[in-house]
């Protein structure tokens, strides 16, 4: 399951994404966690050394390698230059699975508590004027578009704050989106904005309330987000201690907060995967990107890279039309 954690700045996206990932991994699920925010805090929240993570190879700097790896020997993508962040896989492309080993994972991912972690890399001064945050996140979009995950595997992406997440087709790359929401007007405002955009794309969204102090807070959220409210986390001593550098085993999180993580996991699994929709939307956003800027730059019609009946899904793991790194 591909899962996004979104919401207003400071609402608790990184905190809940890391706890979700750690809980799922502790229960034995294969888990991948990706920091796709401009402010990179997920490594620290997972208990990794943030400085080492910032120094290490990051996805955003490996775009050309990622493209070269994923295009494999797909004849419709003869070079990395002709691959956009939206270019979908087709026959000959390399597909990814959560649990495999491949050169890409070995180079860019680190492992902690059974979680495979990678970051897009922050926005550094050198980027000003020459690159943008969206091109870095493009590396994640490409990987998600080539990743065959199952219901029992979780790919957790910590997203950029607010509605910035809609600047590309990324928001459609998830089986489920969890919007973290404090009991404030600004936080529910972000939910309303998100739900508005997402409605046209049939995006599954659930709200997880956060930093809830009392029944009034819950009532406020119910009033503003209605049935979208999946559950809520109270202010947590565990999180506070973690913030001070004492990251305990995830089982030590308060029982009621663990229950919310479990409910979120079950919600995602129950919603299931819709590979046909995933593929259709990948094609739709690739056509848009090709028409908007890709074709001009490439000098050819990149929409021709789309193989309409190449639908991503588990069936491809058992065919000869595509390869994954594990073989
Ligand atoms: N349930 C909670 N109980 C106590 N503190 C919390 C809780 N959730 C989050 N916090 C604290 O709130 C602050 C913001 O949380 P976090 O960094 O997870 O938010 P974010 O949405 O990822 O922020 P940003 O937009 O900056 O990425 C942190 O100091 C975190 O420790
Ligand atoms: Mg964050």
| pTM for this prediction | 0.95
Q: Mean pLDDT for the chain?
A: 92
Pocket test for ligand 1, best of 6, 14, 214 (most atoms within 8 A of CB): 14
What residues does the ion ligand 2 have nearby, CB within 5 Å? 13-14, 41
Cβ pair 212, 222 in contact under 8 A: no
Q: Which single residue is written with the structure tokens 């699975």?
A: 97
**pLDDT score recorded for residue 134:** 66
Residue 113 neighbours by CB distance under 10 Å = 16
Distance from the alpha carbon of residue 37 to the mean position of ligand 2, in angstroms? 7
Which residues of the chain have a pLDDT value below 50? 129-130, 321-322, 326-327
Among protein residues, the one whose CA lies closest to atom 12 of ligand 1: 12
Distance from the alpha carbon of residue 15 to the mean position of ligand 1, in angstroms? 5
- Domains (ranges, CATH) in the chain? 2-315 (3.40.50.300)
**pLDDT score recorded for residue 130:** 45
Distance from the alpha carbon of residue 158 to the mean position of ligand 1, in angstroms? 12
Residue 86 has what DSSP assignment? T
**pLDDT score recorded for residue 326:** 43
Three-class SS state of 67: helix
Residues 274-299 as b or e (16 or more Cβ within 10 Å = b): eeeebbebbbebbeebbeeebbeeee
Q: What is the DSSP string of 204-253?
A: -EEEEEEEE-SHHHHHHHHHHHGGGEEEEEE--HHHHHHHTT----GGGS
pLDDT digits (tens, 9 = 90+) for 277-308: 999 999 999 999 999 999 999 999 999 999 99
Residue 249 neighbours by CB distance under 10 Å = 10
pLDDT digits (tens, 9 = 90+) for 35-58: 999 889 999 999 998 888 777 788
Residue 325 neighbours by CB distance under 10 Å = 17
**pLDDT score recorded for residue 54:** 76
**pLDDT score recorded for residue 124:** 59
């Amino acid at each position: 399951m591909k899962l996004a954690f979104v919401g207003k700045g400071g609402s608790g996206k990184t905190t809940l994404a890391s706890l979700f990932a750690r809980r799922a991994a502790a229960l034995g699920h294969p888990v991948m966690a990706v920091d796709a925010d401009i402010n990179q805090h997920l490594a620290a929240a997972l208990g990794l050394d943030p400085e080492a993570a910032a120094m290490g190879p990051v996805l955003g700097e490996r775009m050309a390698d990622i493209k070269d790896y994923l295009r494999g020997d797909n004849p419709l993508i003869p070079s990395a230059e002709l691959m956009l962040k939206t270019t979908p896989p087709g026959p000959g492309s390399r597909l990814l699975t959560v649990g495999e080993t491949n050169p890409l994972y070995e180079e860019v991912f680190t492992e902690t508590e059974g979680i495979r972690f990678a970051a897009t890399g922050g926005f550094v001064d050198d980027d000003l004027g020459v690159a943008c945050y969206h091109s870095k996140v493009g590396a994640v979009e490409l990987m998600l578009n080539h990743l065959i995950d199952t219901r029992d595997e979780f790919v957790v992406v910590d997203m950029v704050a607010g509605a910035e997440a809609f600047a590309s087709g990324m928001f459609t790359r998830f089986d489920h989106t969890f919007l973290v929401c404090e009991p404030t007007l600004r936080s529910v405002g972000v939910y309303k904005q998100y739900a508005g955009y997402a409605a046209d794309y049939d995006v599954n969204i659930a709200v997880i309330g956060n930093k809830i102090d009392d029944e009034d807070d819950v009532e406020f959220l119910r009033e503003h987000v209605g049935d979208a409210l999946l559950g809520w986390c109270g202010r947590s001593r565990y999180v506070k201690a973690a913030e001070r550098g004492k990251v305990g085993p995830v089982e030590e999180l308060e029982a009621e907060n663990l229950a919310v993580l479990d409910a979120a996991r079950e919600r995602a699994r129950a919603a299931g995967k819709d590979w046909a929709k995933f593929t259709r939307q990948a094609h739709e956003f690739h056509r848009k990107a090709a028409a908007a800027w890709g074709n001009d730059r490439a000098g050819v019609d990149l929409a021709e890279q789309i193989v309409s009946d190449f639908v991503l899904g588990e069936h491809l793991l058992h065919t000869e039309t595509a390869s994954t790194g594990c073989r």
